[in-house]
Amino acid sequence: MKVCKFGGTSMADAGQISKVMDIVLADPARRMVVVSAPGKRNKGDTKVTDLLIALAEAALAKKDTTKPLKAVIDRYAAIAEGLDLGNEIVAEIRKDLKDRLASSKKDEGVFMDTMKAAGEDNSAKITAVAFRKRGVKCRYANPGDTGMILEGESGNATLVEESYRKLARTFADFEGIVVYPGFFGHRKDGTVATFPRGGSDITGSILAAALRADVYENFTDVDNVYPVDPRIVPEVDEGIDTMTYREMRELAYAGFGVFNDEAIAPAVQGRIPINVRNTNRPSEPGTMIVQSRRVMPGTVTGIACANGFANIIIDKFLMNRKIGFTRRVLDILEEEGVAYEHIPSGIDSISVLIKEAGVPLAKEKKVVARIKRELQPDSVLVTHDYGIVMVVGEGMAFSAGMLAKATGALAEHGINISMVNQGASEISFMLGIKSEDCISAVRALYNAFFNHHRQ
Ligand code: ADP
Ligand code: ASP
Ligand code: MG
């Protein structure tokens, strides 16, 4: 049995949903179909999720919701018309949206997630109707009724472990095709919660693990995972055939938007191979993401960059002799509820990288003040607009000269490296640079490691 997930561009309009159905029906093993909300139909278009966020914001601000509500309904009405599904499903979606709009706004986060979830929920309902119209045995499944239990922050929820058992029990022996909405689940108190953006990948991975699928097929709008983001290096032409889970995890974390980084863990836990494929070119084999693969020593698999970090650099002479110094820094972060991303260290210094978006400036100032007061360092300096570039590859382990090649390529382009961090696994290294240098850094590194024609 295969779990297939179709992303926003695959669900964007009637033509794309027809392709989705063709793909599913081409292989009888494709029985669990996870869908996103309709995405962009063209460059200037808006994703339904973003339309729903605008709608929820208007409702919270007590503004007139007629126009933003119509914008959402129009997307589904166009799909229903294009697939000749009749008006009943559109009326059902209109009622669903109005009910959600009328729901409690006491907890704004819960209200926002309830609205966001409508994108995938109605996408799944309309797709199930479209399958049935083709004479296929198919039903829509609701996450709340089938055991997708989440917890935690609105918009950033995580799975409750017992969900795996519940989902496995629900789908132990199901018939026909099930269309399952991605991106959201329910808390134990019944409230709706969503994963972070791009979270339909996570739903697919959870279901693949719970149902012990043979493969998790993740259909999107590119033939492969490429060694660099094709939006940064448009000339990248050779995709990756096979990569490991940990390579994907590191690259997804550092900016490969093609697969949500949190979607790796469930597949790893269930040892389910992931196959990233193109809805528009289903004959392409795509990229396999697996536990292990044969590697060529001295090769890089991918290069990614992420920005929006702040770097807190703490210096203290003889820090290496101050037992517990790092722990006390981490205690302060924990007490202030600040998550850190990395803590590269030197002999007399440590850096704490945090995501700027998650930490308000006032909180950052408080952390710095506490470090100064409680740890008496020689200096504490905060650099903003900080970016990281990750160079990742199983083939890098035990290979000399990889870091030298990378730093050389950046030096050639006048890009200053302010931090180097290599994990103990040696399958990646991270370079700290200014945010504004991220794109040129990826290009320079791509030319150094992949673009052999140039040399
Ligand atoms: P979906 O809506 O199907 O989930 P996404 O937009 O989330 O699709 O992800 C697909 C996009 O990811 C591609 O169109 C591409 O622009 C982008 N992307 C970023 N990095 C990579 C990469 N390394 N390889 C392929 N695509 C990438
Ligand atoms: N629709 C959601 C988003 O736009 C989730 C997803 O597509 O994966 O983020
Ligand atoms: Mg995505």
Structure confidence at residue 453 (pLDDT): 52
* Ligand 1 touching residue 225 (CB < 6 A): yes
> What domain range includes position 201?
2-221
Sign of CA dihedral 150, 154, 155, 157: negative
CATH number of the domain enclosing 443: 3.30.2130.10
Instruction: Report whether 123 contacts 16 (CB < 8 A).
Output: no
User: What spacing in Å lies between the alpha carbon of 190 and ligand 3's midpoint?
Assistant: 26
pLDDT in tens, 42-99: 999 999 999 999 999 999 999 999 999 999 999 999 999 999 999 999 999 999 999 9
- Would residue 231 count as lying in a domain? no
* Atom 8 (ligand 2) nearest CA: 198
* Ligand 1 touching residue 7 (CB < 6 A): yes
Those residues with Cβ within 8 angstroms of residue 454's Cβ, 6 or more apart along the chain or in another chain: 447
Residues 216 and 343 in one domain: no
**Which neighbouring-strand residues pair with 225?**
240
Pocket probe for ligand 2: among 5, 10, 47, the residue whose CB has the most ligand atoms within 8 Å is 47
Q: Domain total for the chain? A: 2
Q: Which residue has the tokens 């002999």?
A: 347
SS3 state of residue 187: coil
- Would residue 23 count as lying in a domain? yes
> Can you point out the beta strands (E) in 211-301?
215-220, 242-244, 274-278, 287-290
Last residue of a domain, one of 191, 221, 251: 221
> Given a cut of 50, is residue 259 above it in pLDDT?
yes
Instruction: Return d(Cα 335, Cα 365) in angstroms, integer.
Output: 14
Residues 11 and 108 in one domain: yes
- Would residue 36 count as lying in a domain? yes
pLDDT in tens, 183-236: 999 999 999 999 999 999 999 999 999 999 999 999 999 999 999 999 999 999
Q: Which residues of 398-412 are buried (b: 16+ CB within 10 A; e: fewer)?
A: ebeebeeebeebbee
- Would residue 386 count as lying in a domain? yes
Question: Which amino acid appears at position 68 of this protein?
Answer: P
The alpha carbon of residue 283 and the mean position of all alpha carbons in its chain are separated, in whole angstroms, by 25
Structure confidence at residue 400 (pLDDT): 77
Instruction: Report whether 200 contacts 35 (CB < 8 A).
Output: yes
CATH number of the domain enclosing 104: 3.40.1160.10
Those residues with Cβ within 8 angstroms of residue 65's Cβ, 6 or more apart along the chain or in another chain: 55, 58, 59, 101
